[in-house]
Amino acid sequence: MRRVLPRIYFNRPTLTVARSLVGKYLVRVIDGRTLVGKIVEVEAYVGSEDKACHASKGRTQRTDVMFGPAGIAYVYLIYGMYHCLNVVTEREEFPSAVLIRAIEIDGKLIDGPGRLCRAMQIDRSFNRADLTIGESLWFEDRGVSVKKEEVGTHPRIGVDYAGEWAAKLWRFRLRTVTASTGTCHTKKQGGAG
């Protein structure tokens, strides 16, 4: 069973979406070739009160996409070289998103949002792309169920500046995957959505 995740899937509480994305698949079509990665780590960013969330500083040209409909891509560039892919969640005007941190492609771990975007050839041209229509880039359910105990919860990476929000266990990682090493997990790259 292969099913493109619809908008209603993302129009739910961000923590629910984040946890449920672990074990789903990120699909990218590049020049007629399909690249598929199993999602093994994500981070949730929930609303403007979340000090680790980009929207905590208000609605800007950069964060405007987060205030829009669920299922839309929020892609940003840091250090002029690393892209990060997020998917917008929840209702419109409540800025929330899930950062896709790590995937497995053919058993190979692509760890870190910058590496992931490089491997999948995702850049700012995908910002505001609709990820629910199954064109170029989308999320897919392939009928694989992941039990609650198979997913570890951890503090988000690189958001120490967010005070008490930095301690929230809003990073979800498949337990069978080796822990993050810190590569590509800089302060700015850690904070997202």
pLDDT digits (tens, 9 = 90+) for 47-102: 999 999 999 998 988 999 999 999 999 999 887 889 999 999 999 999 999 999 99
148-165: per-residue pLDDT in tens?
Answer: 999 999 999 989 999 999
**122 or 180, higher pLDDT:** 122
91-108: per-residue pLDDT in tens?
Answer: 999 999 999 999 999 999
pLDDT higher than threshold 80 for residue 180: no
103-126: per-residue pLDDT in tens?
Answer: 999 999 999 999 999 999 999 999
The confidence score (pLDDT) of residue 121 equals 97
Report the CATH architecture of 3-190: Roll (3.10)
3-state secondary structure the chain: CCEECCHHHHCCCHHHHHHHHCCCEEEEEECCEEEEEEEEEEEEEECCCCCCEHHHHCCCCCCHHHHCCCCEEEEEEECCCEEEEEEECCCCCCCEEEEEEEEEECCEEEECHHHHHHHHCCCHHHCCCECCCCCCEEEEECCCCCCHHHEEEECCCCCHHHHHHHHCCCEEEECCCCCCCCCCCCHHHHCEC
Q: Taking the model in full, what pTM does it have?
A: 0.91
The confidence score (pLDDT) of residue 80 equals 85
Distance CA(158)–CA(9), nearest Å, equals 28
pLDDT higher than threshold 50 for residue 182: no
Distance CA(51)–CA(168), nearest Å, equals 11
Mean pLDDT of the chain: 91
pLDDT, mean of residues 140-144: 94
Structure tokens at 35: 């690249």
- pLDDT band for 178, please (50, 70, 90 cuts): low
Distance CA(20)–CA(40), nearest Å, equals 11
